[in-house]
Chain A
Amino acid sequence: MTRRILLQRLLLILGIDLAGLMRSRSAHAVNAASLPDPAVFDPPLKTETLSRAEMGDLIAFAEVLVEGRRLTLAERKYLVEHIEERTKRTTGYLALYQLTVSTLRRLVGRRFGSLEISKRIDLVARHRLGTAQVWPGEDLGPFPEGMRAIRTRAVPDLIGGYYGSPAGWAVVGYTTFPGRCEDLTRYVRAES
Chain B
Amino acid sequence: METEVCIVGAGAAGGILAWELARRGVRVVILESGPRHDFRQRREYVRRYLKHENPWRTPLRELDRHTVGGATPYHLEWRRARGVGGSTLHWEGYALRLHADDFRLRSLYGIADDWPISYQDLEPYYAGAENALGVAGAADDPWASPRSTPFPLPPFPFSYTDRLFAPACRSLGIAFHHMPQARNSVDYGGRPQCRACGTCHVCPTGAKASVDLTHIPQAEATGNALVLTGATVLRLDVDRSGQASAAVYARPDKVERRLTARVFVIAAGAVETARLLLLSTAPAFPDGLANRSGLVGKLFMSHPSLEVTGRASEKVYPYRIGFSTAMSRQFAVERGRATHGAFFLEFMNSAGPTPDQIAVASDQWGEALRKQVREEFGRRLGIRIYCEQLPDRANAVSLNTRVRDYYGNPAPHLQQNVGSYERQALDEAKEVVGKILAAMGLTDIRPSSLMFAAHQIGTHRMGADPGTSVVDANLRAHDVPNLYLVGSGCFVTASSSPPTLTIAALAIRAAEHIAVRLRSAGHAAPGRSLHDNEPITSLQHEDLTLSARE
What is the interface of chain A, defined by CB distance below 8 A to chain B? 1, 3-4, 6-7, 10-17, 20-21, 23-24, 26-30, 35-36, 38-39, 41-42, 64-69, 85, 121, 124, 130-133, 155-156, 159-164, 168-169, 171-174, 176-191
Contact = CB atoms under 8 A, between A and B. Distances in A.
Contacts of B349: 187
Main SS at interface, chain A: loop
A23 B51 CA distance: 36
B365 interface: yes
B224 interface: yes
- Give the contact-size bracket for chain B: 35 or more
A156 B357 CA distance: 10
Contacts of B199: 178-179
Interface string B1-44: 10100000000000000000000000101000011110001001
Contacts of B57: 10
B216 to A, nearest CB: 8
A184 B195 contact: yes
B228 A16 contact: yes
A130 B366 contact: yes
B363 A131 contact: yes
A156 B362 CA distance: 9
Interface stretch (B122-130, B251-259, B416-424, B469-477): B251-259
A169 B230 contact: no
A36 B1 contact: no
Given A68-B366, A172-B355, A27 B223 contact: yes
A24 B356 contact: no
A36 B257 CA distance: 12
Interface of B: 1, 3, 27, 29, 34-37, 41, 44, 46-55, 57-60, 84, 157-160, 193-199, 204-205, 220-221, 223-230, 251-253, 255, 315, 317, 319-322, 349, 354-356, 358-360, 363-370, 373-374, 377-378
Among B55, B59, B157, B221, chain A packs the most CB atoms within 10 A around the CB of B59
A67 B370 contact: yes
Nearest to A38: B230
Contact of A163 (B60, B196, B226, B359): B359
B29 A28 contact: yes
A168 B253 contact: no
A121 B193 CA distance: 48
B522 to A, nearest CB: 17
Given A7-B48, A28-B27, 10 more contacts: A24-B224, A24-B225, A27-B224, A30-B1, A69-B367, A159-B359, A181-B195, A187-B159, A187-B320, A187-B349
A132 B204 contact: no
15 contacts: A4-B52, A39-B253, A65-B369, A67-B369, A130-B369, A133-B363, A162-B359, A163-B358, A168-B355, A168-B356, A179-B46, A183-B195, A184-B193, A184-B321, A185-B157
A171 B223 CA distance: 53
A172 B377 contact: yes
B138 to A, nearest CB: 15
Nearest to B48: A7
A13 B58 CA distance: 10
A42 B3 contact: no
A179 B44 CA distance: 10
Given A65-B366, A130-B366, A168-B359, A188 B158 contact: yes
